[in-house]
Amino acid sequence: MSKYWSEITKSITPYVPGEQPRDKKYIKINTNESPYPPSPKVIEAIKEADDENLKLYPDPTVSGLRETVAQYYNLDKDQVFVGNGSDEILAFSYMAFFNPGKPVLFADITYSFYDVYAALFKIDYRLIPLDEEFNLPLEEFFQENGGVLICNPNAPTGKYIPVEEIQRILNKNMDQVVIVDEAYIDFGGESSIKLIQNYPNLLVIQTLSKSRSLAGLRVGFALGHKDLIEGLDRIKNSFNSYTLDRLAMAGADAAMKDQAYFEETRNKIIKTRETLSQKLKEIGFKVLDSKANFIFISHPDIEAYNIFQGLREKGVLVRYFNKPRIKNYLRVSIGTDEEMEVFYKGVKEIIGAR
Amino acid sequence: MSKYWSEITKSITPYVPGEQPRDKKYIKINTNESPYPPSPKVIEAIKEADDENLKLYPDPTVSGLRETVAQYYNLDKDQVFVGNGSDEILAFSYMAFFNPGKPVLFADITYSFYDVYAALFKIDYRLIPLDEEFNLPLEEFFQENGGVLICNPNAPTGKYIPVEEIQRILNKNMDQVVIVDEAYIDFGGESSIKLIQNYPNLLVIQTLSKSRSLAGLRVGFALGHKDLIEGLDRIKNSFNSYTLDRLAMAGADAAMKDQAYFEETRNKIIKTRETLSQKLKEIGFKVLDSKANFIFISHPDIEAYNIFQGLREKGVLVRYFNKPRIKNYLRVSIGTDEEMEVFYKGVKEIIGAR
């Protein structure tokens, strides 16, 4: 604690990302990265953009990439905002759409950055408890609020709610912004993007970190009514005119255009997830239905923390959250079939299954 | 104006960066970019980093690059913060060190993003008027305040104040953070970095956008006491865990290590600046003493706006600020000798000099 820190700096508890260890080589299934490399066309596009033009500022309006994303989703360019990962867009959204004194609603078990933003920007929030099976109680989002934030599929549970339920929430919140964080939507869920034309209160946020294998490039985007996009632009342009460098723009553009590669890799991940889930159930695990690139699992006999530690010793890194309600669960990112085989053998040994 | 915007979004006036026109090819000396390409080693390092590891998150602590910067300035790694351009670091600094209700002091004529941040983060500020010759009245920074922000060399004037004067300001503000924005320090000024060991209240911010020819890569850094760096880290980790992508880190690292190229290009810019300044004075221009990669000029007979427009028609883009006190000045970024020759011929024609 330093006397030079602002009151906010003193009061916040920063987000802690999943560890990126360097002590040895792990099977790293703890931060929901893709096990597959980005499309070769991405690598190529970046090499092409890596030239003397790096001396010049990037396009502050990110015009080309926004156009590409707009075309991909059949929207207008002014319905697209591009940011430095979906985390940055979430941070901008708190500033752009939420006010102090009016609580924002989100689930008690969800992406653990949401309450960190709230503390940073002094936005009140109310946690909506998920039910015993981690389902979202829709009606709770009909109460008076200052905004709604839903992660769909949810992290770390992987549970997905259908677009019709999002629509019910939107209908009851026409005066506030409803943000649907779709970081994991490409792994089996249907996006709420189709509701954008009818709901000026809907902002959908996606990322290239997961389904496009580009966690290392830092690109996310938000889709919504042009007034919402303008709100995000106003904040961004009061914060940092250029949050995406030239290389990130080039790579992201190529990624959005390589549909075949995208389909191939995300389908492989879905298939691996389903196979693994089945096998884990057969050896006694509870496995939540997941539409994400991870699964959330629990074993009736062996504590999650012990499995986590046992796996770590075997060189397999999964995510353990020391938090109420979920401390007997592990979040396991879906890797390649080979990686999942190592993981599976490891847990089998740890739980003593034959 | 949308009903979905927060009170802050409604109230702010975003920063407007210098134009990046696409209608035709200009001699672009309006945004203080370097006319020289980045070091070939930067291009090479990026190509090497452009591989399948892009699927993995970058190091959230930016450990390697911080180590490189620390070594360069003979500091410890925990005295270095790295961000997405110095603009992002300035934004984080407002959150990390300033409080509402305690006015931050900065010059009335300086980088025009400072008051934009203040509005975004609801931080009060008091403008310190520069004197007639755009000099900083030191004593004005001795009054009670909530923080001090000094751009040195100043933008858009290019005027530099010596380290001894910064030290006087530091001595009178031991209870607040004094930020010295040294975006342009490499073009002839002496950095205040040498004061860091003795002043726990000093934060120096620099960028790779100008003297390292990397405006398109978005990398800046802050140097100061480890408590200040920890404050910035706390804010960053409550905002976006990864603001630098893998390619930016690799390129920036290579840039900081190619000292020979850095010296060569910045010395060329200094030489061009001095030659041009002399020639402009000879045809009647007032040219402020500059230690930056731009000059700030005014002509006694022809209005700056008319020169700006005349140059634009000739395909030369300079920066005009329609603001009190400086609306008869133009800010001209230093390009290559060839570009400056075109600029010089252009202004000569416009002012009707023989």
Query: Bridge partners of B316?
Result: B27
User: pLDDT tens for residues B289-324?
Assistant: 999 999 999 999 999 999 999 999 999 999 999 999
Q: Which amino acid is at A190?
A: E
Which among A13, A227, A245 has CB closest to B218?
Answer: A245
Q: Residue A242: list chain B partners with CB under 8 A.
A: 17, 85, 87, 218
**Residue contact B38–A58, C-beta within 8 A:** no
Cα-Cα-Cα-Cα torsion B251, B253, B258, B264, nearest 10 degrees, comes to: 60
- Angstrom distance (rounded) from CA A346 to CA A307: 9
Predicted-complex ipTM score: 0.96
Q: Which amino acid is at A5?
A: W
**Residue contact A28–B56, C-beta within 8 A:** yes
- Angstrom distance (rounded) from CA B275 to CA B255: 27
Task: Report the Cα A318 to chain-centroid distance in Å.
Answer: 17
Helix H segments across chain A? 7-11, 40-49, 63-72, 85-97, 114-120, 163-171, 226-236, 246-257, 259-282, 304-313, 337-351
Please name the residues in contact with B64: beta carbons below 8 A apart, sequence gap of 6 or more: B249, B253
Query: Bridge partners of B204?
Result: B180, B223
CATH code of A16-37+260-351, in short, is 3.90.1150.10
Instruction: Look at residue B230 in the predicted model and tell me its pLDDT.
Output: 98
Chain B interface disruption, residue of A218, A232, A236, A339, most B CBs within 10 A: A218
User: pLDDT tens for residues B135-194?
Assistant: 999 999 999 999 999 999 999 999 999 999 999 999 999 999 999 999 999 999 999 999
User: pLDDT tens for residues B209-223?
Assistant: 999 999 999 999 999
Which among B55, B235, B251 has CB closest to A9?
Answer: B235
- Angstrom distance (rounded) from CA A47 to CA A23: 30
CATH domain B7-37+260-351 topology = Aspartate Aminotransferase, domain 1 (3.90.1150)
Task: Report the Cα B138 to chain-centroid distance in Å.
Answer: 21
Going by pLDDT thresholds of 50, 70 and 90, the confidence category of residue B353 is low
User: Of B208, B221, B220, whose CA–CA distance to B34 is shortest?
Assistant: B208
Q: Residue B233: list chain A partners with CB under 8 A.
A: 14
**Strands A316-317, A294-298: pairing kind:** unpaired
At the top level of CATH, which class does the domain A40-257 belong to? alpha beta
Give A132 to chain B, closest Cα distance, Å. Answer: 29
A40-257 has the same fold as A16-37+260-351:
no
The residues spanned by each domain of chain B are 7-37+260-351, 40-258
**Residue A349 Cα distances to A307, A309, A311, A352, angstroms:** 10, 13, 10, 5
Alpha carbons within 13 A on the beta-carbon side of B191:
20
- Angstrom distance (rounded) from CA A80 to CA A244: 15
Give B230 to chain A, closest Cα distance, Å. Answer: 9
Instruction: Look at residue A22 in the predicted model and tell me its pLDDT.
Output: 73
- Angstrom distance (rounded) from CA B166 to CA B223: 15
Task: Report the Cα B306 to chain-centroid distance in Å.
Answer: 27
Instruction: Look at residue B256 in the predicted model and tell me its pLDDT.
Output: 98
Furthest CA-CA distance within chain A: 61
**Residue contact B43–A50, C-beta within 8 A:** yes
| Architecture of the B40-258 domain | 3-Layer(aba) Sandwich (3.40)
pLDDT, averaged across chain B: 96
pTM of the complete model: 0.97
Give A58 to chain B, closest Cα distance, Å. Answer: 5
